[in-house]
Amino acid sequence: MNVQVKGRSRSCRTVTFDAEANSVELIEQRLLPHCFEIFSAKTYKETARAITDMVVRGAGAIGATAAYGLAQGARAFKGRNLETFQKHVEVVYQMLKDARPTAVDPVNAMNGVRLAMSRGGDVEQQQALALEAAEAFAGEDVRHCQEIGQHGAGLIRDGMTVLTHCNAGWLAFVDIGSATAPMYAAQAQGKSFHVFCDETRPRSQGATLTAWELAQQGISHQIIPDNAAGHLMQRGKIDLVIVGSDRTLGRTGEVANKIGTYTKAVLAHQHGIPFYVAIPLSTIDWNLRSGMDIPIEHRDEGEVLGAWGVVDGPRAGRRKGERVYVRVANPTSGAVNPGFDVTPASLITGIITPAGIFKPRELWARRRELGGG
């Protein structure tokens, strides 16, 4: 997508790879919307750390980052012994897999890279194939998001208000985004509509990232507190909900997504508002049989007990623009911080995929066309 950086428009992907430096290049999302910087992860360990610390986040984006990270780790290997190389690759794979557990995209992406590598006869060939496969995953992510936009744009009609949760925009993918793809496509078709971005505490991806993206793109929007959606739905102020997903079960149609998604789905159901989930094929898990088996990431309690922001002017020894953490909650209280929840298929109107829009329980019957073998 195009972003305005220091008054200049530049086209940018969330994740890229510098083959010469063997580094993974990431938009530093923790600093947005206040500062636009590129973070260079120079080793696979730094890449894994960037995923855990959420320099990069969002299912497709961490999928591409893990794929590049695996290629990066493979390319860093010195030597010709294939067995030692494969052991090294396994260590890299596990570290990147463990960096964040809920999204399935990193696993699907890295399995694709490993499969491609297995076609190489020696270390050098496998290293080259790894990077080729990682680039292919990133390219496919962009294509899938474009196709999601084409299928989903028809859901947005002139004058509508659309609610989205967290950030399933281009920052959560290599480009374009999943939940935002229908919005960008509808805008290109000349439709006029308004978006409510859930603030998405505790990390505020809606208030910081989605709002920034929509502002960059000139889409009419407002940020709402996470608790406001029910009230707005009750007053007829929301016509449609589109969210992303970190893992969608192909067998059951259940959707794991950012904490709070389930609540919004229940509310939408109560008010008869269509609730759609937009996903590229790499977000589908064809193995798990129940949403209750999806590993739910629990993050540090500090995210709930306080908030990050930037200093808006020089004060108390701080410089303007400095990123600071402030404690909000009672100092002696602890917190529970699950990052994701699971929405049952019965609450989902449709899943917008690159191959069309399906009922959640249709995914399994259509698994061949949806890449499920």
Residues of this chain that interact with ligand MRU (CB under 6 A) are 57-60, 166-168, 172, 178, 205, 243-246, 257-258, 339
Pairing label, strands 247-249, 284-285: parallel
The residue annotated as part of the active site, out of 246, 285, 300, 312, is: 246
**Rounded to whole angstroms, how far apart are CA atoms 310 and 293?**
38
Closest approach, Cβ 178 to ligand MRU, in A, equals 5
236: how many CB neighbours lie within 10 A of its CB? 10
Q: Is the peptide bond preceding residue 182 cis, with omega within 30 degrees of 0?
A: no
Map residue 317 onto helix, strand or coil.
Answer: coil
In terms of C-beta density within 10 A (0-12 exposed, 13-18 middle, 19 or more buried), how is residue 52 classed? middle
**Rounded to whole angstroms, how far apart are CA atoms 143 and 153?**
15
Strand partners, 318: 315
Closer CB to ligand MRU, residue 116 or residue 179? 179
Closest approach, Cβ 232 to ligand MRU, in A, equals 19
Closest approach, Cβ 156 to ligand MRU, in A, equals 18
Closest approach, Cβ 344 to ligand MRU, in A, equals 17
Closest approach, Cβ 129 to ligand MRU, in A, equals 27
Query: Which residue shows structure tokens 């002696």?
Result: 332
**Rounded to whole angstroms, how far apart are CA atoms 274 and 269?**
8
Tokens of 275: 């609730």
Closest approach, Cβ 246 to ligand MRU, in A, equals 5
**Rounded to whole angstroms, how far apart are CA atoms 344 and 364?**
15
Closer CB to ligand MRU, residue 243 or residue 345? 243
Tokens of 66: 């893990």
In terms of C-beta density within 10 A (0-12 exposed, 13-18 middle, 19 or more buried), how is residue 326 classed? exposed
Alpha-helical regions (H) of the chain? 44-52, 59-75, 82-98, 105-117, 123-152, 181-188, 205, 211-217, 229-234, 261-270, 302-305
Closer CB to ligand MRU, residue 339 or residue 371? 339
Active site residue 198: no
Closer CB to ligand MRU, residue 77 or residue 275? 275
**Rounded to whole angstroms, how far apart are CA atoms 119 and 23?**
24
**Rounded to whole angstroms, how far apart are CA atoms 147 and 294?**
27
Given a contact cutoff of 8 angstroms between Cβ atoms, the answer to whether 178 and 142 are in contact is no
Given a contact cutoff of 8 angstroms between Cβ atoms, the answer to whether 258 and 200 are in contact is yes
Closer CB to ligand MRU, residue 116 or residue 259? 259
Closer CB to ligand MRU, residue 59 or residue 345? 59
Closest approach, Cβ 164 to ligand MRU, in A, equals 8
Closer CB to ligand MRU, residue 127 or residue 202? 202
Angstrom CA distances, 324 to 31, 299, 312, 319, stand at 11, 19, 11, 10
Q: Which residues are catalytic?
A: 246
